[in-house]
Structure 1
Amino acid sequence: MLRSMYSGISGMKGFQEKLDVIGNNIANVNTTGFKKGRVTFQDMLSQTTTGASGPTDNRGGVNPSQVGLGSQVGTIDDLHTQGSSQRTDNPLDLQLEGDGMFAVEKPDETTAYTRAGNFYMDEDGDIVNADGYYLQGDGNGTDGELKIPDEATSINIEQNGTVTYVDEDGNIDKSQQIRIAQFSNPAGLEKTGNSLYTNTENAGLNTDNDDNLVEPEKNGAASIVSGALEMSNVDLSDEFTNMITAQRGFQANTRIITTSDEILQELVNLKR
């Protein structure tokens, strides 16, 4: 069978996967804290028909002759660039400006990470995300949880993560601080759904502290903006452009298969 037919099949598979990633990006264009994906391709093995040879006294060198056998998906990357800001004026809506992620504790006591900063207060005064996972920090909460009394007023989150409020006695309380996680390679994090990530061996979590969390605005860590949310970093114009190029690439590979089939048909008809 013709090698071009199998090359076309590999190209179709690759562009189909790229369209899947583009479709997911477009679906999450308004998802808080979402980071878009990107697909890169690599060439597959090449069949060598003639090897290379070096120059001799009587003859110059000869380059190798190789026929490629198609393409394959190289990587599917998450691009952790800063998303656009949306003002909400809700003091518990938090946006990270710079590198870092919020840490939340799940019911199984494992830690997950997110850029989605839409937090709430539950009945007990704990600061939680949309799934009820506790926002992690340092202060008078339990096991790193942040708690605001029911009678508190004038709640505010400072840029360094300090949680301030006026207690029932009229005193300003600044005993709690939100901590964030830093990663040298955030693209190495694994998506687990619900806008959450889990740590992997390749993410490069900063482990200088016992709880692996750092103070905002220190040593390159992000600052916190209260009353705003970080939106998706998906650019629709880029996604539609990528979708068109992927569609044309898919169509071109189908044409390779059609042309190869026509050639095979001519070979079959040679006996007639």
Structure 2
Amino acid sequence: MIRGLDTLSKNFNVLTEKQKNLATNTANVTTPGYKSQNLITSTTDPVDVHNYTRGPELNLRRETDQIVFGNQLDEAYRNFGNGALQGTNNKTDVALNGDGYFTVQGANGELYYTRNGNFTVNDENQLVTQEGYTVLGIQGNGATEPIIVSPNDFSIDQNGFVISDQNAPQFLYITSFEDQAALTSVGDTLFQGANGAAMGTGFSVAQGFVEQSNVDMVDVMSDMMQISREFEANQKVLRTMDDTLKRATQEVGKA
């Protein structure tokens, strides 16, 4: 009975984490550049089962089979597939087709990478993320600096060149990673990682567009229904165990 309760507890914990993960994906279905997260589960290691029904007096140990007690969470992983592009007619919105990430810089100089091109312009005429992080560019001399634009008059071509009437041409700093799975999530659409390489080809830029979240609501609804069925199945087992304990207690009381 104790083993059964432990198994149910593990199952409920796994289902709760799956539910939380689906809720996070659903909440970000309209977040530009969001990459859906999925959980990988597996069954726990099998346990040998035996009884004492062997031998002429039926008192010797007999190995019968193996049984698996519950599920466990193994890891969470991001789906880095590209989302569809959505037109906004906003000059500060930028989307990437193909590989790569916009390279942005935090207040303390730390680097982040994102597919969320829902940018804006701050008081210093710097192109920034919604968090206020500066979008980096590669200057004509090869230096890496924040992108400076004229708020009302600038353009970005498909190759990532930023052209403004008050500044020399700059090139969006696009970074690629051989192993995207090694990236670490920082918030909903920001990542950190090592061994990134500046890209010159392999992507195209669309100004006035943002990349939509790649959350598939059909998959989300399907997973929600599956989780609901699994919750119900485990609740039925829990009620059965509860009834069994009640009857056992009553029988002990009668004795």
- Give the TM-score category using the shorter length: 0.7 to 0.9
2:161 equivalent to 1:180: no
The answer for the alignment partner of 1:56 in structure 2 is: none
Report matched runs for 1:233-248 at 5 Å. Answer: 233-248=214-229
Instruction: Point out the more displaced range, 2-11 or 239-248.
Output: 2-11
**Quick check: 1:9–1:253 contact (8 Å CA) kept in 2?**
no
Letter in 1 for 2:118: N
198, 219, 238: which one aligns with 1:213: 198
The answer for the alignment partner of 1:148 in structure 2 is: 149
1:244 deviates by 1.2
Q: Distance in 1 between matches of 2:165 and 2:64?
A: 77
The answer for the alignment partner of 2:209 in structure 1 is: 228
Q: RMSD of the TM alignment (CA)?
A: 2.4
232, 245, 248: which one aligns with 1:251: 232
1:179 deviates by 1.6
The answer for the alignment partner of 1:159 in structure 2 is: 158
1:116 deviates by 0.8
The answer for the alignment partner of 2:57 in structure 1 is: none
1:88 deviates by 1.2
Instruction: Output the TM-score relative to the length of structure 2.
Output: 0.84
Give the match's secondary structure for 2:67. Answer: strand
Q: Distance in 2 between matches of 1:259 and 1:114?
A: 49
Give the match's secondary structure for 1:38. Answer: strand
Q: Distance in 1 between matches of 2:8 and 2:124?
A: 60
Q: Distance in 1 between matches of 2:170 and 2:84?
A: 28
Instruction: Output the TM-score relative to the length of structure 1.
Output: 0.79
**Quick check: 2:35–2:189 contact (8 Å CA) kept in 1?**
no
Q: Distance in 2 between matches of 1:159 and 1:222?
A: 9
1:194 deviates by 5.6
Give the match's secondary structure for 2:47. Answer: strand
1:187 deviates by 3.1
Letter in 2 for 1:101: Y
Gapped regions of structure 1 (runs ≥ 5): 51-62, 168-172, 207-211
The answer for the alignment partner of 1:44 in structure 2 is: 44
C-alpha distance after superposition, 1:199-244 (max 9, x if no partner): 26xxxx33xxxxx4222xx2xx332111100111112222122111
Report matched runs for 1:1-272 at 5 Å. Answer: 1-49=1-49, 65-139=65-139, 143-149=144-150, 153=153, 155-167=154-166, 175-193=169-187, 195-199=189-193, 205-206=195-196, 212-215=197-200, 218=201, 221-271=202-252, 272=254
Q: Distance in 1 between matches of 2:121 and 2:248?
A: 73
C-alpha distance after superposition, 1:51-98 (max 9, x if no partner): xxxxxxxxxxxx982111211112222111111211012232111112
Q: Distance in 1 between matches of 2:40 and 2:15?
A: 10
Number of paired residues?
Answer: 240
**Quick check: 1:40–1:74 contact (8 Å CA) kept in 2?**
yes
Gapped regions of structure 2 (runs ≥ 5): 51-62
C-alpha distance after superposition, 1:158-192 (max 9, x if no partner): 1221112345xxxxx76310021112232332222
Q: Distance in 1 between matches of 2:47 and 2:68?
A: 6
Q: Distance in 2 between matches of 1:247 and 1:93?
A: 39
C-alpha distance after superposition, 1:223-272 (max 9, x if no partner): 21111001111122221221111111112112222222333334344443
Letter in 2 for 1:6: D
**Quick check: 2:36–2:213 contact (8 Å CA) kept in 1?**
yes
Q: Distance in 2 between matches of 1:199 and 1:112?
A: 8
Letter in 1 for 2:234: N
Letter in 1 for 2:32: T
Letter in 2 for 1:163: V
The answer for the alignment partner of 2:60 in structure 1 is: none
Assess, with a 3 A threshold, how the Cα gap between structure 1 residues 99 and 64 changes in structure 2: closer, same or farther: farther
Seq. identity, %: 26
